[in-house]
A = this chain, B = another copy of it.
């Protein structure tokens, strides 16, 4: 029996608020600090470890968090989800993205099919299509191979796939897995499409249109933009386009596509990277085997999220530490700081994943909650961020919890030794140094040079950024966000907050406005 209770009804939440907070700077100094860092580490799958030595917890607080996880039935709620319950209460939908990468529980029958079979079947269709493109069996009108794939999509049909492509592009180059270059068009700004197209060899580009509903304004507009460009180049768009959509969308049966691959309403946009939304472009770019490796890494992380033991469930642990920092300690932001240039757009994807899922003020029953929910997520790769916004993180008037990511080895293996160390060693030395600088600080009689410390962080450490470890990393954050939604008793899977803007934009375009909206429309010459 699952109880969907608001967080402030929980005895364990009251206990968390009553617990004595950790004095992080003191706790992380000296040999005690060393012991914490050794002890507070949990495997995440694919060789990754979640090290939370510098987060503001201790054994007592962790024990209360374990009570919280039990009292709020977090693992049971996850089981409800993967066994096919309608946990997306607002839209009355199941939430089945985990099933793209594994069968975590019971078979789920819906729409007259076994859902796992359906998702795997679409993956197999995509794999066959990609293999044909790579083998030169699907070619352009001149009989030549496609060299580039360009995804047209926005939001969840853009950010995740783009972040993953960028994360693996250089890895693929050095391992011989870069089958096709990828490009992305997302914004309704016509300069986005025009700018991207100006860099493409249209005759050898295969476009993948991605819209679950088949009605996304930006995506359909950009499709027309691309079709015009193809026609102007003397090319037939039907030879250059595939689509990923739902079987019920207007695109599904259109003759305008080389192929159509299907997802369904149980895969939310921001959770769709492991469905055909990510699968098509990534299988074309890197080959289906690489995408399969990515999925297997995600599946490995998903299995850990089933674990009832909080200290063996890194996503649930990360989630609850985040709730503690947000609701008990009162920190409004979280920064994501990968020490890996390849993860340059990973924070932008997490920004959607987290803020669109948990930026809510009502619970899953539509009643207001009396506590804050999802934080603001931002971030850039290190060491770049050190030379940008870290000043505020170290010495600003607020505290921002930090999520570092670091790898022992580079992807490409090219390096240079300067002053006795490689660039990779310098990169790693910097992230180690930052964690300790943030946590412990440094006293100084010149207060301008003083660091208060007490600024919490965790680090996810891996050997190397590979398809599998990237899958595990992504699934960790997807599951973390899900567990936080369960903790707050909100529905992490709808996004009603995006609707009003759409409605008003339509009014503007129909010149059906008054008041301030009319003035803004006039100022913008619409």
Contact = CB atoms under 8 A, between A and B. Distances in A.
Interface in A445-503: 446-449, 451-452, 459, 461, 491, 494-503
Interface string A380-403: 111110111111111111101000
Copies of this protein, total: 2
A313 interface: no
A427 interface: yes
Interface in A423-447: 423-437, 439-442, 446-447
B519 A38 contact: yes
Contacts of A517: 432-433, 436
Interface in A366-390: 366-369, 371-374, 376-378, 380-384, 386-390
Interface stretch (A3-11, A136-144, A215-223): A215-223
Given A29-B515, A516-B34, A517-B433, A411 B191 contact: yes
Given A34-B518, A333-B333, A348-B380, A366 B406 contact: no
B412 A191 contact: yes
Given A426-B509, A432-B520, A447-B367, A398 B170 contact: no
Interface in A122-168: 154-156, 158-159
Interface string A401-424: 000001010111011101111111
Contact of A398 (B191, B368, B372, B410): B372
A459 B423 CA distance: 42
Nearest to A510: B420
A234 interface: no
A190 interface: yes
Contact of A341 (B189, B406, B419): B189
A224 interface: yes
Given A195-B341, A376-B333, A509-B425, A433 B504 contact: yes
Given A520-B459, A521-B429, A391 B155 contact: no
A97 interface: no
A220 B417 CA distance: 11
A187 B430 CA distance: 12
Interface stretch (A58-66, A280-288, A302-310, A349-357): A349-357
B420 A509 contact: yes
A470 to B, nearest CB: 14
Contacts of A491: 448
Contact of A33 (B228, B425, B515, B521): B515
B154 A436 contact: no
Contacts of A514: 34
A384 B221 contact: no
Contact of A221 (B38, B155, B371, B418): B418
B393 A359 contact: yes
Contact of A332 (B332, B433, B459): B332
A189 B53 contact: no
A300 interface: no
B28 A423 contact: no
A502 to B, nearest CB: 8
Most-contacted residue by chain B among A30, A374, A515 (CB, 10 A): A515
Nearest to A404: B520
Contact of A526 (B155, B392, B428, B524): B428
A525 B47 CA distance: 14
B221 A426 contact: yes
B390 A340 contact: no
Contact of A388 (B340, B348, B440): B348
Given A224-B416, A426-B509, A519 B37 contact: yes
A106 interface: no
Contacts of A435: 516, 520
Given A191-B412, A220-B418, 16 more contacts: A34-B515, A54-B516, A154-B384, A155-B387, A187-B383, A188-B423, A189-B410, A189-B424, A190-B410, A194-B412, A221-B418, A221-B426, A356-B390, A359-B394, A360-B396, A433-B508
17 contacts: A34-B516, A37-B516, A51-B523, A187-B384, A188-B430, A189-B342, A191-B341, A225-B416, A360-B396, A361-B397, A386-B498, A395-B496, A408-B525, A429-B521, A434-B505, A441-B500, A448-B496
Please give me the 4 A-B residue pairs with the lowest Cβ-Cβ distance, nearest first.
A359-B392, A155-B387, A433-B504, A33-B516
